Amino acid sequence: MRCYVFPGQGTQKKGMGRNLFGRFPDLPRRADRVLGYPIEELCLENPERRLSETVYAQPAIYVVNALHWSAAQEDLPPADFFAGHSLGEYSALFAAGAFDFETGLTLVRRRAELMGQVSGGAMAAVIGVSEQIVEETLKQHDATGVVIANYNAPEQFVLSGSREELARIKPVFEKVEGVRGFVPVKVSGPFHAPAMAPAAARFRTLLAAVDVGELRTPVISNVTGRPFGSDAQEVRALLAEQITEPVRWTDCIRYLRDAGVSAFTELGESKVLTSLIDRITIAQEAAPDVRRDLIERIKREILQPEIGDEALGFDEHASFRQLGLNSIIYVRLARRAGTVLGVPIKPDVIFQHRSCAALADYLLTRDDVAGAAAPEARPAPLREYQDERVTALLRDCANGTLGVDRTVEAIRALA
């Protein structure tokens, strides 16, 4: 089965759609009538750097996604599913027949205007650690105004909150074991967070007057990670909720894979979603017995000798804190883990990944534990770097997850 996916905000760049405007001239003409300005000029020339502004970026991405969809209809086989990341969900719904091009663009334009009116916030990606560590770090440092806005991959999350709070916790996350980057996202507000509630309320009023047709192809909702239902009111409600609710991209892809999708094609100007899908797929395809066996080994060979038989029945997702462990026990657990697994492990790792499942997931991402390729087998440009965080950032740059500027910024932050 096949799924076409559409990217969202953050993928905009000067020159986007260059090879498609001339191929499908009717779409930009129709877009110009809706927007009141020349969309081709905006995308190809980026006058006054307007693509950095939400109010221009979102319509531009929607139009270029529509151009790619037009090309796909001529060049590619039909899809069994559609999905879009955040703003990209409107492109997916347009492709599925929920509304026509002009209606979708009108919605996107108004959505961008409303979201752009919410000021004082920002977003940043945390790369390299689990959801549990992200949540615990936010809680430990009282970052109550910061939430996870995007669940992009098992070890990539986007935070949303005030600029001040994100600036405050940036150095905190950069010191967390396993974090490979804390990277600003190219948006102008705290999207997919409670702060967007006023925008969502106004947008809900607009949606109430929009006709939503029956979907010809299933579309996966960012809010639920499941297909939109056939009820038009449900579609409207989920589109309004999406402004304040997190994008559950990992859940979307896992659902699609469980539904039998084996081929994903990204229609747009980037390969960011392709990279995220690859990460999600690798994590999902990892032999479940390997993970299960590692969790059982942690219980049996690492925890049990230190705390007794209670370890064998301990909930794999429960925090070690429930066992009343002190710092000396964490040191012993780290030593025992190093002996059992044959690799050095710091007590801080046990402390930060303090459940059997979280510790297993972390260990399975380590080359020396998971049996990944030896350094000699890696590409030459990566081999010379001894800092694993730098190596991981370079990989993210090579596969399109991070742009060059963001990679350089993240490496400088590490330094």
What is the distance of C-alpha 272 from the center of its chain? 9
Angstrom distance (rounded) from CA 105 to CA 60: 9
Residue 183: CA count within 13 A, CB half-sphere: 26
From the candidates 68, 85, 86, 221, give the one annotated as an active-site residue.
86
Contacts of 120 (CB under 8 A, 6+ apart): 162, 163, 189, 190
- Per the structure block, which two tokens stand in for 112? 């961008």
Angstrom distance (rounded) from CA 320 to CA 328: 14
- Which uninterrupted H or E stretch holds 82? strand 81-84
From the candidates 70, 91, 130, 192, give the one annotated as an active-site residue.
192
- Which uninterrupted H or E stretch holds 283? helix 272-285
Mind giving me the DSSP string for 26-57? HHHHHHHHHHSS-HHHHHHH-GGGGGGSHHHH
Angstrom distance (rounded) from CA 60 to CA 37: 11
By three-state DSSP, how is residue 238 classified?
helix
Angstrom distance (rounded) from CA 57 to CA 295: 45
Find the angle CA(298)-CA(301)-CA(302) to the nearest 5 degrees: 60
Is 86 an active-site residue?
Answer: yes
Residue 82: CA count within 13 A, CB half-sphere: 26
- Kindly tell me the burial class for residue 286, based on how many C-beta atoms sit within 10 Å of its own C-beta (0-12, 13-18, 19 or more): middle
Angstrom distance (rounded) from CA 103 to CA 191: 22
Angstrom distance (rounded) from CA 311 to CA 320: 10
CA torsion 139-142-145-151 (nearest 10°) is: -20
Angstrom distance (rounded) from CA 16 to CA 14: 6
Active centre residues (catalytic): 86, 192
